[in-house]
């Protein structure tokens, strides 16, 4: 094993009922990489992340994080992980301050430090004035910023981001991309799962395409371009997932919309 290898997934399988979602996923992630984990809706991206984080125990194969098999059930490794879930239950009745200091303390950060960091990070993200407001008053983008901040308060070594820019405006996305680049430059490892190709294409040092339960492509954007007909990541994605009938589906869709009147 490469000594800087942080995450190893070997022959990972997962089914829900009789539906096989992951059919033998293999991947190796080295420290400092920004992995873009892409795939169509329902491919199993979020499921993969939940398994790695210990939120889904019923799987086949092996996952090693920081060199340890996650089945060993040690919670210690979780302190080194940050996570932005795709769908989050944030406590609406708390204020930003209350929520962030609560999460920070769960991860072992002292209250004072968590409070100071939270306030400064909220200000940098342009939402400092909402720090003491209830989360129920936050917009979708403000909630997303709260989740991003809460995932970073304990300065984790690896960050799992599941559709992290949901609801963020263009300027906030630019700041966020810069944050990720800076974190990676500091040696942090980032696992970025999304179906939004343009951001993945720009930020990832390596792209992994999950399709039909397996890794269908794995390489830098340039490598994927060389292996396929080139073009944008979206074009490569469409080609590798063998998806061609979008015109026909679009036409039929509109025909149904217009029909029956
Ligand atoms: P992605 O994140 O790639 O869009 P998911 O990992 O969320 O995909 O889901 C993969 C598949 O597994 C989907 O078909 C989804 O409906 C199914 N699935 C996810 N979670 C559950 C669950 N808890 N119970 C049953 N099916 C699930
Ligand atoms: Mg998902």
Residue 76 has pLDDT above 90, yes or no: no
In the predicted model, is pLDDT for residue 261 greater than 80?
A: no
Give the global pTM. Answer: 0.93
Mutate to test the pocket of ligand 1, among 15, 47, 195, 216 (most ligand atoms within 8 A of CB): 47
Q: Residue range 33-58: average pLDDT?
A: 94
In angstroms, the CA 195 to CA 152 distance is 23
When pLDDT is cut at 50, 70 and 90, the band that residue 192 belongs to is very high
Whether residue 24 has pLDDT greater than 80: yes
pLDDT of residue 197: 87
Greater pLDDT, 62 or 237: 62
Fold of the 5-258 domain: Rossmann fold (3.40.50)
Categorize the per-residue pLDDT at 17 as very low, low, confident or very high, splitting at 50, 70 and 90. Answer: very high
Task: Report angle CA 57, 187, 234 to the nearest 5 degrees.
Answer: 70
Ligand 2 centre to CA of 135 (Å) is 24
Atom of ligand 1 nearest to the CA of 193: 2
User: pLDDT for 80-112, tens place per residue?
Assistant: 999 999 987 888 999 999 999 999 999 999 999
Q: Would the CB of 41 count as within 6 Å of ligand 1?
A: yes
pLDDT of residue 91: 86
| Residue 97 confidence (pLDDT) | 97
What average pLDDT does range 147-173 have in this prediction? Answer: 95
Using CB atoms within 10 Å of the CB of residue 182, give its burial: 0 to 12 exposed, 13 to 18 middle, 19+ buried: exposed
User: CA 185, CA 164: separation in Å to the nearest integer?
Assistant: 19
What pLDDT is recorded for position 2?
A: 65
Cα–Cα distances in angstroms (integers) from residue 227 to residues 26, 57, 207, 224, 231, in the given order: 20, 36, 13, 5, 11
Read off the pLDDT of each residue in 16-35 and give the average, rounded to a whole number.
96
Task: Kindly report the protein residue whose alpha carbon is nearest to atom 26 of ligand 1.
Answer: 16
Q: What percent of the chain has pLDDT over 70?
A: 98
Q: Is 89 exposed, middle or buried (0-12, 13-18, 19+ CB in 10 A)?
A: exposed
DSSP annotation of 170:
H
Å from CA of 149 to ligand 1 middle: 26
Atom of ligand 1 nearest to the CA of 50: 6
Average pLDDT for the chain: 92
Question: In this structure, are residues 180 and 165 in contact, taking their beta carbons and an 8 Å threshold?
Answer: no
Question: Quick one: residue 35, left, alpha or beta (phi over 0 = left, psi -120 to 50 = alpha)?
Answer: beta
- Taking residues 46-52, report their average pLDDT: 96
pLDDT for residue 1 is more than 60: no
Quote the pLDDT of residue 44: 96
| pLDDT for the residue 90 | 84
Q: Tell me which residue has its CA closest to atom 19 in ligand 1.
A: 47
What is the 95 CA–ligand 1 centroid distance (Å)? Answer: 31
- Classified as helix, coil or strand, 71 is helix
Choice between 259 and 37, residue whose per-residue pLDDT is larger: 37
Per-residue model confidence (pLDDT) at position 28: 95
Q: Which ligand is nearest the CA of 50, by number?
A: 1
Q: What is the pLDDT of residue 73?
A: 67
**12 - beta bridge partners?**
25
SS3 15: strand
The full set of domain ranges for the chain reads: 5-258
Find the 19 Cα to ligand 1 centroid distance in Å. Answer: 10
């Amino acid at each position: 094993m490469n000594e800087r290898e942080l995450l190893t997934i070997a022959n990972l399988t997962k089914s829900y009922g009789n539906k096989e979602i992951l059919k033998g996923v293999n991947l190796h992630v080295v420290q400092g990489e920004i992995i873009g984990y892409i795939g169509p809706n329902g491919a199993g991206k979020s499921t993969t992340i939940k398994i790695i984080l210990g939120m889904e125990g019923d799987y086949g194969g092996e996952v090693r994080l920081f060199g340890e098999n996650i089945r060993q059930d040690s919670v210690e490794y979780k302190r080194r992980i940050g996570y932005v879930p795709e769908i989050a239950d944030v406590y609406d009745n708390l204020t930003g301050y209350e929520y962030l200091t609560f999460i920070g303390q769960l991860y072992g950060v002292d209250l004072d430090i968590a409070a100071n960091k939270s306030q400064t990070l909220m200000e940098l993200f342009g939402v400092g004035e909402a720090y003491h407001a209830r989360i129920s008053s936050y917009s979708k983008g403000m909630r997303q910023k709260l989740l991003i901040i809460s995932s970073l308060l304990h300065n984790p070594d690896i960050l799992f981001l599941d559709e992290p820019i949901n609801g963020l405006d263009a300027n906030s996305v630019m700041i966020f991309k810069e944050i990720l680049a800076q974190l990676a430059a500091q040696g942090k490892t980032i696992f970025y799962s999304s179906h939004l190709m343009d951001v993945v294409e720009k930020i990832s040092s390596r792209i992994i395409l999950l399709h039909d339960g397996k890794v269908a492509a794995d390489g830098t954007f340039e490598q994927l371009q060389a292996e396929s007909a080139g073009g944008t990541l979206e074009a490569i994605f469409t080609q590798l997932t063998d998806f061609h009938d979008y015109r026909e589906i679009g036409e039929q869709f509109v025909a149904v919309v217009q029909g029956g009147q």
